[in-house]
Amino acid sequence: MVGRGAQVEGSLVTTGSLWIAGRIKGEISVEGQVTVAPDSEVEADIKAGSINLAGRVNGNLIAPGSVELPAQSQVKGDVRAKSVSVHGAVEGNVVAEQKVELGPAARLQGDVTCTALVIAEGAVFQGRSIMAKAASS
């Protein structure tokens, strides 16, 4: 846990899960889930089993599981996961082995590679959609 008001610079590595409510600059590698609370700021690539990000991240997100980006999330970087649900803002490419879902408040500027793409009414998508049997790495 990185609590509200805490600032970390460097690499964070754990076999468990990580909850972030402060600021991190560096690299994050977690076998479990990473949860980034609203008002948090992360300048790091995040590699985790799954990611739920409600804050701001400047870096790439990589997960063999799911990546959930609620309405208040902001990502500047690429997202690579089994499935991706975007309800916030992403500036970068999204690659999913399975489905990418863009909710009604989603704003995605970048290309999407996946096997299924769902775009809700109201979502903004600027980029290319590449449909594939299996997303390329």
Which structure tokens are listed for 122? 């109201």
pLDDT tens digits along 12-21: 899 999 999 9
Q: Checking DSSP bridges between strand 124-126 and strand 41-53, what pairing results, if any?
A: unpaired
Task: With cut-offs at 50, 70 and 90, classify the pLDDT of residue 134.
Answer: low
Residues 74, 54 contacting (CB under 8 angstroms): no
The letter for the amino acid at 92 is: G
pTM for this model (two decimals): 0.92
